[in-house]
Structure 1
Amino acid sequence: MTQKPRTAIIGAGKVGSALAILLKARGYPLAGIASKSFASACRLADLTGAPAFDSPLPLVDSAELVFITTPDREIAPVSAYLAEAGAYHPGQVVAHTSGAHSADELLGARQAGALAVSIHPLQSFADLDTARRNLPGSYFALEGDAAALPLAEQIVSDLGGKSFHIRAQDKPLYHAAACIASNYLVALLHFATGLYEKFGLTRQEAFAALQPLVQGTLNNIAAVGPVQALTGPIARGDIPTLRGHLPALEEAGSQLAHLYRALGQYTVKIALEKGTIDHRQALALAEVLKEEKQYEQPKSDHGLLPAGQTGGTAADNAYRL
């Protein structure tokens, strides 16, 4: 497309702000910014030179492309409000950036003659600066009306990204996998650095020590893929080493040992796929990693529950795996 669509941004959080700044830099005329907080809309307006609105209605009415970049739970009610107020019109493309929800979340857009699409960046954003840095080069998952996909592809290309298409029914599995790759990586590093705290390092020191190992592993995965990148005792079929780990982990906390065992059981399958162990070794490893006793609620003295919190409450249950 040579003529960039006049674009409205509804929601001035990290993703919406990064999109507004980057799209403006790539020649998309911004109709304006609206957000639940007018102060947030004004801050983003100052960064982009676009007008800020205390209501999204006039903004959306004048736009050809509408991005709803609110939190996921607010996409449907915001879209329904815009539709009921008559802000949508035929020829518009309405997009959201949720990974978990399909374009169906854009309630009322299609009924008004607009096209609906989801454009999800497969990336994590800790703050606005990282969002602006991380969006270019990221992959984006596109899903929605076929007629809107060419524009969605163009937007991704203009942002310096790459895109692929998925079906609406695949969004939950797609998003779960993204959470595993990103959020659970954070959880695993929290797990590992917490173990290093138990023999005297601070969590910051532990991360500094482990970061080269983590980066080296990511480099190996990029070079040869996750199966061939697997190293360590399970890949070697080294049962004595595993037997040495488990008592130390049980001493550190039953939840930690439970998590180690569960991850180990999955890792056995990868080692078998790699071909560095055979089926007999896989069965022996699985037997070592099997739960030996009923998993118990962790005690607060293991640092997994706030001091004074006891089992049985909803808050406690949030710590169960």
Structure 2
Amino acid sequence: MRFGRREVLGAVAAALAAQQARAQLLDGTATVLVPYAPGVTDREVRALAPALSARFGRPVIVDNRPGAGGAIGGRAVATAHPDGMTMLYAAAAVLTILPLLPNAAYGFDDLVPLARVTNNTHVMAARADAPYRNFAEFVAYARANPEKAVFASSGAGTAVHLAGEAMAEVAGVKILHAPFQGLAPAMTAVFGGHADFVIGLPVAIMPAVRDGRLRAIAQFGAERSAFAPEVPTLRESGLDLVQSVDIGFFAPKGLPPALTTGWVDAVREGVGHVDFQTFAVRSQVNAAFLPPDAFAREIGRDRDLYRTLIPRLNLT
């Protein structure tokens, strides 16, 4: 099919008009806050930022705002003006956990799920000489030895901590929680025999499994991760529990519909771009876009579980 000069000029004009309309959505440079220290999460959104900037025709910058398990950055966005200029990129724990903690910095309704970007699984791994080789044997051991299995987590009240407590709750076992300042020292404690098991993302856990320092017990996703295909899920192991690490964008409540649509479309396009897909494979994260309603349903499922669990943990 051949296109005449008029058709070509018309297509160019339409594309320019669409770009101008998208640029008018944002009044200057947009900032995406990441409520954690530099690491996996901010690398994700930094990989996505060029596509967002191209889509909007405006700069999109990333600002790490760590502290209080994500509450400082979460509050900064929850109290921001809903003009599309300040967004949050974080794990779903900013809504499933933080608003449920004592002295919460913001409420559940102060942030709105905008778009999921990645979805990953927790992997539970024990010290190499643990007296259990799979999840069924772990449950049998923990039931016979209440509070003897020491769970090293990346911190009290974190998503990893709550995933471990949820597992123990559903399995009907009592474990002993030992919080550390991050996953690396928690893993070191397990390597040294000072704790019995740890939970983390495949990218962190699986290298130590494959070199023999840890023994994989189970993963928490609905299906086996491509980055840990040899590890059975909790459901395969007989426990009806699914826990995932959903990471994505959140907006202050009251974001106008046009801005919501603009951001969701920009994120969808960015996640599908070959550059981000390549980044995801290289970084061992699962690119898994979800729009607002579906993202909110995933968050609601976990929040219902944590609403009953957190009050029993005496978190301060």
TM-score by length of 1: 0.26
Q: Which gives a bigger RCO, structure 1 or 2 (Cα 8 Å, sep 6+)?
A: 2
Q: Which has the higher strand share?
A: 2
TM-score, normalised via structure 2 length: 0.27
Greater share of helix: 1
